[in-house]
Every structure is written in C-alpha cells, then in structure tokens.
Chain A
Amino acid sequence: GESVGLHLPTLSVQEGDNSIINCAYSNSASDYFIWYKQESGKGPQFIIDIRSNMDKRQGQRVTVLLNKTVKHLSLQIAATQPGDSAVYFCAESPYSSASKIIFGSGTRLSIRP
C-alpha cells in the first residue's frame, strides 16, 4: 500500500480473517526492513523485522515476506482482531551504513465486526 498526500490506503478486513498489507520499497541497497504499527494517539510500535538474507520471518500471528526481486514487502496478520486496527508502516534501511531509516506512507487497517 503506497500513497502520497492526505489519503492513506485502507484495508478493511472481517474480524477473524487474515490480513495482508503490502509495501513497495525503492532502494535496492536496503537490506533491513521493519514493520511498525501505530495506534491512534500513540507512537509507532515495532512489530517484526527481516534482513535481506531471508525471505520470510514469522512472529506471533504475524509473518513478513520479502521479495527482493520486485522490491516488495508484505505483512500478514493471522486471525485479525479488533486490537489490530491501526496504521501500519513499512520501513527500509541500509543496515551496513549509517543512513536513514525511510518510512513508507502507511496503510490503515480497519476491522469489521
């Protein structure tokens, strides 16, 4: 989910279903990727990360997939719950150098009861 400007892309998911949030990154030199979750009125919170020597990493109810060929990252949330409602940001960084972490513009996840 990429967007520029005022309107965040929104993903609406039925409670209990799986959610897939997508992110396209731009820098071929990026070798470290992170997903953050931001709830209303709070700061971004780390969810899961992955380095470029991996293509999949699993956490608790979350999985991150990395496709370096097409520079694509996805976050899968299993059995989506109301507490998963938030804006999700992907971020990229060249780990080997002191450079900036670049955040994507975010995707809003909305849960339908």
Chain B
Amino acid sequence: DAGVIQSPRHEVTEMGQEVTLRCKPISGHNSLFWYRQTMMRGLELLIYFNNNVPIDDSGMPEDRFSAKMPNASFSTLKIQPSEPRDSAVYFCASSPQGLGEKLFFGSGTQLSVL
C-alpha cells in the first residue's frame, strides 16, 4: 500500500490567494482527518470525516477554511483567502475504524503564505 498521499508537498503563495491541499487516504479506511502542525500549537485536529461525511469540524479555525470529501478516495482542504498566520504543515491522516484507533499520516504539505 502506498500509504496516505498528500499533494503538494510544498506550497508557497501570497496573502489573499486561494490554497487547495489534497489527500488520498489509504484504500479501505473509512475515516479521514486533517491536522495542522505549528511549533506554537503542535498538532491540531481541524476536521474529520467518517464514510465521507464531516463529523466534527469544530477545529476549523475560520470560515476561510473549508474541507470536502466527495468520495472515499479523495479529500481537499481549501483556504480562501490565505493569510500569513495560516503558514504551517498540514497533515492528512486516515484510519480504518475511526477515532480511537491508530492514525496513518501522510507526509504533509508545508504551506508558506507570504
């Protein structure tokens, strides 16, 4: 198995631009998570999906952030408009049984908003 695949690996953009991060979970996993990691705040859960349905988005910082999971093999996290404080590493993870079971993380997207 190729594991969780994220793209792009690095994204550099200017403030105000739209950013779209992509994730392909491990086949057969029914839960998908988006995390953000910064030095100051560590790993923060933004949103998680179960069977393609958003279950908890209370970690999404603002309306500028949105996430979709149109099918079991693809999810996006969009920031519009982006701001410098959004600079972080964004991780996607999937799990075979949902919260409470071990997560499999992708390699992350390093986002820099200038």
A positions within 8 Å CB-CB of B: 5-6, 32, 34, 41-46, 49, 89, 93-96, 98-101, 103-106
Q: Is B43 in contact with A103, judged by CB distance below 8 angstroms?
A: yes
Q: Is A98 in contact with B55, judged by CB distance below 8 angstroms?
A: yes
> Which interface residue of B43, B99, B105 has the most chain A CB atoms within 10 A?
B43
Other-chain residue from A44, A45, A99, A103 in contact with B99 (beta carbon distance below 8 A): A99
Q: Number of residue pairs across A and B with beta carbons under 8 Å?
A: 50
Majority secondary structure of chain B interface residues (helix, strand, loop or mixed): loop
Contacts of A34 in B (CB 8 A): 102
Q: Is B25 an interface residue (CB 8 A)?
A: no
0/1 interface trace, chain B 80-98, chain A, CB 8 Å (1 if under): 0000000000010100001
> Which interface residue of A6, A46, A101 has the most chain B CB atoms within 10 A?
A101
Other-chain residue from B40, B42, B56 in contact with A103 (beta carbon distance below 8 A): B42
Q: Is A93 in contact with B106, judged by CB distance below 8 angstroms?
A: no
Other-chain residue from A41, A43, A44, A101 in contact with B45 (beta carbon distance below 8 A): A101
Majority secondary structure of chain A interface residues (helix, strand, loop or mixed): loop
Contacts of B108 in A (CB 8 A): 42-43
B positions within 8 Å CB-CB of A: 4, 39-40, 42-43, 45, 50, 55-56, 59, 91, 93, 98-100, 102-108
Q: Is A98 in contact with B91, judged by CB distance below 8 angstroms?
A: no
CA distance A34 to B55 in the complex (A): 22
Q: Is A93 in contact with B102, judged by CB distance below 8 angstroms?
A: no
A43-B107 contact, Cβ under 8 Å, with A6-B40, A98-B55:
yes
